[in-house]
Amino acid sequence: MIFFTLEHILTHISFSIISIVITIYLMTLLVHEIVGLADSSEKGMLVTFFCITGLLVTRWIFSGHLPLSNLYESFMFLSWSFSIIQMVPYFSNHKNNLSAITAPSAIFTQGFATSGLLTEMHQSTILVPALQSQWLMMHVSMMILSYAALLCGSLLSVALLVKILYVNERINFLQNTSFLLFRNYHRHQLIQQLDRWSYRVISLGFIFLTIGILSGAVWANEAWGSYWSWDPKETWAFITWTIFAIYLHTRTNKNLQGTNSAIVASIGFLIIWVCYFGVNLLGVGLHSYGSFTLTSN
Amino acid sequence: MLITMASMSPSKTQGQTLLLRSPLLHSSNFKTHVFAFLTNNKRSQSASLKIGVVSKLKTITQKEKETPISRKIILSEGKVPTLSEKEEVSTKSQKKTEEIPVMGLLKKMPRKIITALANLPLAIGEMSTIAALMAIGTAIDQGEAPDYYFQMYPEDSPLYGIFSWRWILSLGFDHMFSSPVFLGMLILLAASLMACTYTTQIPLVKVARRWSFLNSAEVIKKQEFTDSLPKASVQDLGVILMGAGYEVFLKGPSLYAFKGLAGRFAPIGVHIAMLLIMVGGTLSASGSFRGSVTVPQGLNFVMGDVLAPNGFISNPTKAFNTEVHVNKFSMDYYDSGEVSQYHTDLSLYDLNGKEVMRKTISVNDPLRYEGITIYQTDWSISALQILKDNEGPFNIAMAPLKLNGGDKKLFGTFLPVGDTDSPNVKGMYVSVFYLLHHFPILAYEPRSMLARDLQSIVLYDLEGKFAGVRRPNSKIPIDIDGIKITIVDAIGSSGLDLKTDPGVPVVYAGFGALMLTTCISYLSHSQIWALQDGTTVIIGGKTNRAKIEFPEEMDRLLDQVPEIVNSSSLQKSFDSL
């Protein structure tokens, strides 16, 4: 019982802190740089990270297995990964412009997980025999980490597209110049930064996705004797991998860079959601542990 | 392979040596041979000592064995290959490759086809097509009878107005992942991969490995990142860069340093790993055996009877004659009563009856014997052993019952009404058959017994009312309508999957290579040029991937370069150049 209340408390704390942090960010966007608050938002994200970590550890201890066995737990893990990605640039002394993307993502995933849609999954459950394996830790955690990184990166690309289209329209409104002539140096800088950040984050996510898919294949071979069986979830993970491989290839050629790669990454955003979430709605196949039915409660 | 060269020219005042200790040279990746030769050059007054270091780079790919391609390039003073501008290799341009004996065969193939296949937009198109086909493959139910498709996609109301069952069946979309369309696209992708690696990636390696000095300040200033340090010396910069993991080369006032060259090679490794996986997959598809069997506890089977070929080059091996005996099937339970694991104790006997292997398998822990693997995938209950009025034991077969939805199992049987002395074999089979088709009425059948797992049996009496629960081995009898029944044992049967697959080692090798090379290609290849211009050092640099981190790293490193304040020491450092 104590674990349950502890979980409850931690969830609520992290949820509220993220809401506060997002409010601070919004305020700094609208009202310029309030210096004191900027630092506290970083601290806020740190506290959130510890809260979610505490939540996951509690669940781990209570249920005896890594908390990754159904959709609720994987959503919590996803919001944890977002908070990690949030913190990594902070610790390597980069200017943190990812936070506008990661913080809301963390809160949305957490909010969805704790919402009424998934109440029957909140309880820690036992692992079925097929999931009792060391590979569970590696495969699922890699996949969720990769989803987090790829989602971040593709959201950055979406932001990039929005920025480009917005800037393009303004310039066309002001005068008929070509796309490349930027009046505003800072806007150009921002677009370039977004572009580079999204490339780097997506590359990292791609590595995790590769490791996740391949470890899943090896696990499947150990458990069922077949490393690839065109299960819907497997196939969609492969499709995600292919889309981001296309993204990485479009960036090698200078002509296709910029807008085109951002479009590919934005398509990738949708595909990740289909892979992670949409396939589970079907409820069939080898990955049926993650499935659920939408109950209106 | 990498060549580094340092030139040492003894000056008039003192012998100055510039020894470059590069961390890479002493790492396990390189085998280094150092040889020095003295040349007498007519142009310069002093003898200059050349040190050439020849290293062999241990390559990552599986295909190259322990015979690395090693080449020696000997350079002499003054004839350093200088490229005034190092260009980015565009994927569309053609590069002349040097003669490599292995590739000589491929030169016969028309050059145009290879270049056409290595075209990047074509590759992107192929990948998108494959992705789209896979998505379609998940949307359309695979492997159903044609009748299903007639119903789902009728001709009179086709999907989106055009797609009826004719489209699906003729294009092979009902078995998408083995259809000619899909396999054709995969083959095309493989061809593109090979063509691209040959035409673009391998020349890229040669270009990237060549080092170049930039001797003009204007060119350096045009780099992506550029800075200038007044009152500094280019040797100090070199030392700082070496401390940061760069390989540094110094020639006179000019410096060239690079880091992360592996990041340029790794994409080749990725492509080769993917080709390896494809080869392994093809081997699996054409040469494997698979089979499923449900064996009641205590019985056995011969592997060869169960394994069926799954391709056209499948060859049975001697191990197929092995006999597998199920000694015991058991299940573990959680405290809540749910199943936690299934175990099967197996013994393998060869043709002579000698036991060659014994192992208890469970899910995620298969048995491997001579290339054949046995997996625990399923289970069922085959029979109940009961004592009736202390007579017996009788074995009553249990049949699986179909539940609506879920994957919980239920098995049922019943005790036939009538004289137990008469051989009622026919009656028993009939009753099991009856059970399979008339589950709802089971509750009303005489003395029925249901079991969800091997733990407990639920018994019902003649009216179908609940009579009691008994655990096997508890030896407690239960009285149902005048007959005393003791459940002695619930005999389970184990569901086993057998498989042999020659492609698995190849595929695993490809997986490992892919994981490794993908990680390595995250590295960014950074290059820095510097020039000593009077007392100022002009620095320029670029990197191919880490464009965000690079300027910050450079700023940090340049801050560490010491500023030279003493004018006499400044003079000394210039005498040495």
Q: CA–CA distance from B8 to each of A179, B222, B252 (Å)? A: 53, 31, 10
Res B89: pLDDT:
36
- Decide if pLDDT at B495 tops 50: yes
Token representation of residue B543? 């990197």
**Beta carbons of B128 and A130 less than 8 Å apart:** no
**Beta carbons of B518 and A221 less than 8 Å apart:** no
DSSP B198: I
Instruction: Find the distance separating the first CA and the last CA of chain B, reported in whole Å.
Output: 29
pLDDT-derived band of residue B51, with 50, 70 and 90 as boundaries? very low
Q: What is the total residue count of chain A?
A: 297
CA distance B177 to A229: 10
Q: Is residue A182 domain-shared with residue A243, that is, in the same domain?
A: yes
Residues of A in contact with B518 (CB under 8 A): 206-207, 210-211
Q: How far is the alpha carbon of B420 from chain A, nearest alpha carbon, in Å?
A: 40
On whether residue B360 sits in a domain, the answer given is no
Res B536: pLDDT:
87
In b/e form, how buried is each residue of B94-111, taking b as 16+ CB within 10 angstroms?
eeeeeeeeeeeeeeeeee
- Decide if pLDDT at B268 tops 80: yes
Q: Is residue A139 domain-shared with residue A280, that is, in the same domain?
A: yes
On whether residue A152 sits in a domain, the answer given is yes
Best-predicted range by mean pLDDT (A222-226, B353-357, B399-403): B353-357
Q: Is residue A154 domain-shared with residue A269, that is, in the same domain?
A: yes
Q: Is residue B249 domain-shared with residue B173, that is, in the same domain?
A: no
Q: For chain B, how many structural domains are there in total?
A: 3
On whether residue A206 sits in a domain, the answer given is yes
Q: Least CB-CB distance to B364: which of A223, A245, A254?
A: A223
Q: Is residue B477 domain-shared with residue B386, that is, in the same domain?
A: yes
CA distance B401 to B395: 19
Q: Is residue A63 domain-shared with residue A151, that is, in the same domain?
A: no
| Domain hosting residue A45, numbered range | 1-122
Contact assessment for residue B292 and residue A225, using Cβ atoms and an 8 Å cutoff: no
Cα B502 to chain centroid, rounded: 16
Res B385: pLDDT:
85
On whether residue B280 sits in a domain, the answer given is no
Contact assessment for residue B403 and residue B442, using Cβ atoms and an 8 Å cutoff: no
On whether residue A127 sits in a domain, the answer given is no
Share of chain B above pLDDT 70, in %: 72
**Beta carbons of B363 and A239 less than 8 Å apart:** no
On whether residue A128 sits in a domain, the answer given is no
- Decide if pLDDT at A237 tops 90: yes
Cα A109 to chain centroid, rounded: 9
- Residue that wins the pLDDT comparison between A216 and B336: A216
- Decide if pLDDT at B209 tops 50: yes
Domain stops at, among B191, B206, B221 = B206
Token representation of residue B265? 């090679």
**Beta carbons of B545 and A193 less than 8 Å apart:** no
Q: Which of B286, B358, B294 is nearest to B322 (CA)?
A: B358
CA distance A249 to B513: 20
**Beta carbons of A200 and B548 less than 8 Å apart:** yes
Residues of B in contact with A210 (CB under 8 A): 514-515, 518
Q: How far is the alpha carbon of B444 from chain A, nearest alpha carbon, in Å?
A: 33
**What value does the mean pLDDT take over residues B121-127?**
89
Which chain B residue is nearest to residue A229, measuring alpha carbons? B177
Residues of B in contact with A218 (CB under 8 A): 508, 511
Q: Is residue A7 domain-shared with residue A77, that is, in the same domain?
A: yes
CA distance A70 to A67: 8
Domain stops at, among A92, A122, A152 = A122
Best-predicted range by mean pLDDT (A12-16, A36-40, A250-254, B35-39): A250-254
Q: Which residues pair with B379 in a beta bridge?
A: B494
Q: Is residue A87 domain-shared with residue A154, that is, in the same domain?
A: no
Best-predicted range by mean pLDDT (A49-63, A121-135, A158-172, B499-513): B499-513
Q: Is residue B480 domain-shared with residue B404, that is, in the same domain?
A: yes
Q: Is residue B484 domain-shared with residue B531, that is, in the same domain?
A: no
Contact assessment for residue B306 and residue B546, using Cβ atoms and an 8 Å cutoff: no
pLDDT in tens, B288-302: 888 888 888 888 888
Best-predicted range by mean pLDDT (B206-215, B308-317, B344-353): B344-353
Token representation of residue B151? 């119903």
Res B131: pLDDT:
92
Q: Is residue B386 domain-shared with residue B248, that is, in the same domain?
A: no
pLDDT in tens, B54-96: 344 444 443 434 444 444 443 344 434 433 333 333 333 333 4
On whether residue B506 sits in a domain, the answer given is no
On whether residue B306 sits in a domain, the answer given is no
Res A203: pLDDT:
92
Res B451: pLDDT:
83
ipTM over 0.95: no
Res A25: pLDDT:
66
Domain stops at, among A72, A100, A122 = A122
On whether residue B518 sits in a domain, the answer given is no
pLDDT-derived band of residue A296, with 50, 70 and 90 as boundaries? very low
On whether residue B318 sits in a domain, the answer given is no
- Decide if pLDDT at A94 tops 90: no
Range list of H helices, B140-213: 146-152, 165-171, 180-196, 202-209
CA distance A14 to A37: 18
Mean pLDDT estimate for chain A:
74
Domain stops at, among A59, A90, A122 = A122
- Which of helix, strand or coil describes residue B333? strand
Q: Is residue B49 domain-shared with residue B136, that is, in the same domain?
A: no
Q: Is residue B432 domain-shared with residue B474, that is, in the same domain?
A: yes
Best-predicted range by mean pLDDT (A20-34, B158-172, B214-228, B509-523): B509-523
pLDDT-derived band of residue B130, with 50, 70 and 90 as boundaries? very high
Angle at A16 between CA A10 and CA A17, to 5 degrees: 90
pLDDT-derived band of residue B52, with 50, 70 and 90 as boundaries? very low
In b/e form, how buried is each residue of B380-409, taking b as 16+ CB within 10 angstroms?
bbbbbbbbbeeeeebbbbbbebeeeeeeeb
| Maximum separation of any 2 CA atoms in chain B, in Å | 122
pLDDT in tens, A253-284: 766 567 788 888 889 999 998 888 888 776 55
Q: Is residue B472 domain-shared with residue B556, that is, in the same domain?
A: no
Q: Is residue A156 domain-shared with residue A92, that is, in the same domain?
A: no
**Beta carbons of B334 and A126 less than 8 Å apart:** yes
Mean pLDDT estimate for chain B:
74
Lowest model confidence (mean pLDDT) among B20-29, B206-215, B402-411: B20-29
pTM for the whole thing? 0.75
Residues of A in contact with B501 (CB under 8 A): 225
Taking 3-state DSSP, the helix, strand and coil percentages for chain B, each rounded to the nearest 5, stand at 35, 30, 35
**Beta carbons of B515 and A246 less than 8 Å apart:** no
On whether residue A56 sits in a domain, the answer given is yes
On whether residue B307 sits in a domain, the answer given is no
On whether residue A174 sits in a domain, the answer given is yes
Q: Is residue A92 domain-shared with residue A167, that is, in the same domain?
A: no
Contact assessment for residue A91 and residue A33, using Cβ atoms and an 8 Å cutoff: no
On whether residue A293 sits in a domain, the answer given is yes
Q: How far is the alpha carbon of B190 from chain A, nearest alpha carbon, in Å?
A: 14
Best-predicted range by mean pLDDT (A5-14, A74-83, A101-110, B103-112): A74-83
Domain stops at, among B495, B510, B532 = B495
**What value does the mean pLDDT take over residues B479-483?**
78
CA atoms within 13 A on the CB side of B368: 8
Q: Is residue A168 domain-shared with residue A210, that is, in the same domain?
A: yes
Residues of B in contact with A250 (CB under 8 A): 124
Strand order in the sheet with B300-302: B300-302, B323-333, B339-349, B355-362
Q: Is residue A31 domain-shared with residue A62, that is, in the same domain?
A: yes
On whether residue B373 sits in a domain, the answer given is no
Rounded-to-10 torsion of CA A251, A253, A259, A261: -30
Q: Is residue A150 domain-shared with residue A270, that is, in the same domain?
A: yes
- Decide if pLDDT at B28 tops 70: no
- Residue that wins the pLDDT comparison between A99 and B504: B504
Cα B186 to chain centroid, rounded: 17
In b/e form, how buried is each residue of A116-147, taking b as 16+ CB within 10 angstroms?
ebbeebbebbbbebbbbbebbebbbbbbbbbb
pLDDT in tens, B437-446: 555 444 445 6
Residues of B in contact with A236 (CB under 8 A): 134-135, 138
- Decide if pLDDT at B103 tops 90: no
Lowest model confidence (mean pLDDT) among A244-258, B20-34, B266-280, B561-575: B20-34
pLDDT in tens, B137-189: 888 878 778 888 787 777 776 667 667 777 777 787 878 888 888 889 999 99
| Domain hosting residue B246, numbered range | 2-83+211-260+524-575
Contact assessment for residue B69 and residue B1, using Cβ atoms and an 8 Å cutoff: yes
Res B119: pLDDT:
80
Q: Is residue B35 domain-shared with residue B141, that is, in the same domain?
A: no
Residues of A in contact with B511 (CB under 8 A): 214, 217-218
CA distance B361 to B343: 6
Res A212: pLDDT:
93
Q: Is residue A13 domain-shared with residue A149, that is, in the same domain?
A: no
Taking the CB of residue B422, how many other CB atoms lie within 10 A of it?
Answer: 8
- Decide if pLDDT at B357 tops 80: yes
pLDDT in tens, B392-430: 788 888 888 777 666 677 888 877 665 444 444 444 444
Q: Kindly give, in sequence order, each residue whose CB lies less than 8 Å from that of residue B172, ignoring residues fewer than 6 positions away.
A: B179, B180, B181, B182
Q: For chain A, how many structural domains are there in total?
A: 2
